[in-house]
Amino acid sequence: MSSTTGTATLPKVGTYTIDPAHTEVGFVARHLVGTKVRGRFTDVSGTFTVAEKPEDSTLEAVVQANSIHTNQPQRDDHLRTNDFLDVPNHPTLTLVSTGLRRVDDSNWVLTGDLTIRGVTTSVDFDLEFLGEGPSMQEGKTVVAFSAGATIDRRDFGVSFNHSLLDGSVVVGNKVVLEIEVEATQAD
User: pLDDT per position in the chain (187 positions), as tens?
Assistant: 444 444 457 788 999 999 999 999 999 998 766 789 999 999 999 999 999 999 999 999 999 999 999 999 999 999 999 999 999 999 999 999 999 999 988 899 999 999 999 999 999 999 999 999 888 878 888 999 999 999 999 999 998 776 555 555 568 889 999 999 999 998 7
What is the structure's pLDDT at 153?
95
pTM of structure = 0.90
Task: Tell me the CA distances in angstroms from 182 to 16, 24, 88, 105, 147, one per residue in order.
Answer: 9, 9, 29, 19, 12
Cα–Cα dist 2/126, whole Å: 20
The Cα 121–Cα 65 span in angstroms is 17
